[in-house]
Structure formats: structure tokens, C-alpha cells
Amino acid sequence: MKAITLKNFGSVENFEFQELEQPQIQAHEVLVKIRATAFNPIDYQMRQGSTESKLLKSPILGREFSGEIVKLGKDVNYFNIGDKVSAYVGSLASNGTYAEFISVPAKLLAKNPDKISFEEAAAIPMVGMTALQSFKRVTIPREKPIFIAGGAGGVGTIFIKLLLANGNMNIYTTAGNNKSISHLKSIGIRKKNIINYKNEDVIDVLSKKNGQFEYVIDLVGGTMSEICVELITVFGTYIDVTFLATEKAKEQLFDKATTILNIANYAPALKNSDEKFEYYGNALQELFDKIEKDIISPTEINIVGKLSIETVQKAHLMMENNQTNGKKLIMTID
């Protein structure tokens, strides 16, 4: 099979094209022909050799895909050859997803909704499961106001749609440009509840509109985490998706005796049973069912190119330089 591999940690020049043997499947696995894969910030962090690289089990990067089943393990009886499926594989598959084929534990997989493409399906697993975990880890009363830092991105969009479908209407969030503001309005956020953090003092505006919040979701980190902490009440709940809060923010969270919920997609993979596979497959199937029922909609995508070194390099540089414009970057694989 064709694959893009990483020969050393460092720059995008360290990617190379290789012809490799197709992965073999075990009894509980399936072989999938990958048709599309999505890029994630963790990809370039792994490439650079940061702490996330400890999760790297293959020289082939990539953690989510959509494709077609071409071979079934002998114990797999709930899928068929030709089924269109997707998965967040993390480090639980034979290799990463910058490749033509992948061997996957069948319980990781979910069947694609008929109404979306391979490219759209590949964009859902990581952001969707992050949003779903955030939504499920805490029950926010419908009448309570919620502040979401960075709601216009992929995780924020799905999280907001889950909240709105649940009847949580009192949602405030930030945006940095007119396109993001228009996007937030289109998914159901009232204009008066969107704060342009580039032109307005977020703390001042929200303090006048609402006061402090019992529930704050931080999808940004950095200096925005300090704004989140200023806005959260004593004994409030801080949902942390980035683990990028500053030391100042962490001190204030402690001082306010805040309940901190850390959200991490790879956490279930630390379990020592097949339950870890079922968690991912069931969560993704739940998201796909919500798409089928129009409760949520697919993430906006940008198809960067086909399987090649150039496509991978371009996507990594776009992520590093914050040039994704809120869209999920996709690579197609023939």
C-alpha cells in the first residue's frame, strides 16, 4: 500500500512516500480501504516530537478516517464487506491514516450516514467525540447561562448544537471575525450573545450582560483561560478541552475551588479491556445517528489534496500557522 511516513521528528521535510505491505487482520479486526482522512493539531505536535509523540505507535501519522471494509476477521459478524465506515483510531489500529489501508478492531467502527460523503464523515470522529464527551460529562440545567470560549470551531459547533437540541438556549461565546460570527448565528446563537474578542473587552461585556457563570467551557486555552477564570463563579465548573490554561489561570481555578473536567479523547484507550474499543465505536455511532436525524450537521471541511507528501506538508503548515479558518482539513485517498 502507499503511505506517507515520518522518518524523524522535526520539520515537514521529514515526511517520505513509501510502498508498504498491507496490514494483516486478526480475528476481531477488519481491513479498511481508506477513502478520506482528517488532519488534527495533534498530528503536527507528534511530528515535532512534543509530549504527544509518546502516543505514536507507527511512523504513519493520522488518527481518524472514513473508508470501505474490504476484509473481515473471522469473529466479526456485524459488518459486511463494502460497508462504509469511519473511526477515531488513535493508536489502537495497525497504523495511522495517511495510508491506503488500515487494520482496525471492528468495535471501533461506526457505519457512515447515507447523507454525507467520505470526506465529511472523516471530519467527524475527533471533534465530534470531544464535543460529545464534553456534553455528557456534566449535566447543565437548561436555565443556566453557559460561556464557551471559542465556539465557532469544529468542537464548539457540535457542542453548541448538542446543547441547543437539549434545550440549553442561554449560550454566550466568543468569535474573532465576521465569518465566525455569521457561522455562530447560523447554528442558533443570538447575535447579542456573541462577543468579538478582538474588538470588545470580553470580561466587561459579559459581566454587564450576565455577571459570572457557573459553567464555562474553554476550547482555546492560553490567555483566554484567564478570561474564563475571571468569568467563572466560586465553586463553578470549568470544562477544559485544551489543557493549555496558564499558570495564573490554574491558581485562580484552585482559589475558587472550581470543579475541573478534563476532556481527552485518548483517555478511554487507557482501559485494559475491549470496553475501550466499544466506547469509541458507540460514541461515533451516536453522533452519526444525530446527523441522520438532523440534530447536528457535518463539520465544514477543506479538501487539501490527495494522498501525497505535498498534501501532508501543506496541511501541517496550515494547522501550525492557524490558517484552517475553522474548517477541518481533509486528504482524499483513491
46-89 pLDDT, tens digit each = 999 876 667 778 999 999 999 999 999 999 999 999 999 999 99
Query: 113 near 140, Cβ under 8 Å?
Result: no
117-154 pLDDT, tens digit each = 999 999 999 999 999 999 999 999 999 999 999 999 88
- Between β-strands 213-218 and 146-149, what pairing exists: parallel, antiparallel or unpaired? parallel
Q: Cell 477515531 sits at which residue?
A: 88
pTM: 0.91
**Which amino acid makes up residue 14?**
N
Q: What's the pLDDT score for residue 275?
A: 81
Closest CA to 258 of 229, 241, 236, 231: 236
Closest CA to 136 of 155, 163, 117, 157: 163
Neighbouring residues of 16: CB distance < 8 A, sequence distance ≥ 6: 4, 5, 7, 309
Q: What's the pLDDT score for residue 279?
A: 92
214-250 pLDDT, tens digit each = 999 999 999 999 999 999 999 999 999 999 999 999 9
Q: What's the pLDDT score for residue 90?
A: 86
Distance CA 108, CA 279 (A): 8
Q: What's the pLDDT score for residue 266?
A: 83
Query: Which domains can be identified in the chain, with CATH numbers?
Result: 2-124+268-332 (3.90.180.10), 129-262 (3.40.50.720)
Specify the DSSP element, H or E, that contains 161: helix 154-165
11-40 pLDDT, tens digit each = 999 999 999 999 999 999 999 999 999 999
* Residue 139 grid coordinates: 449535566
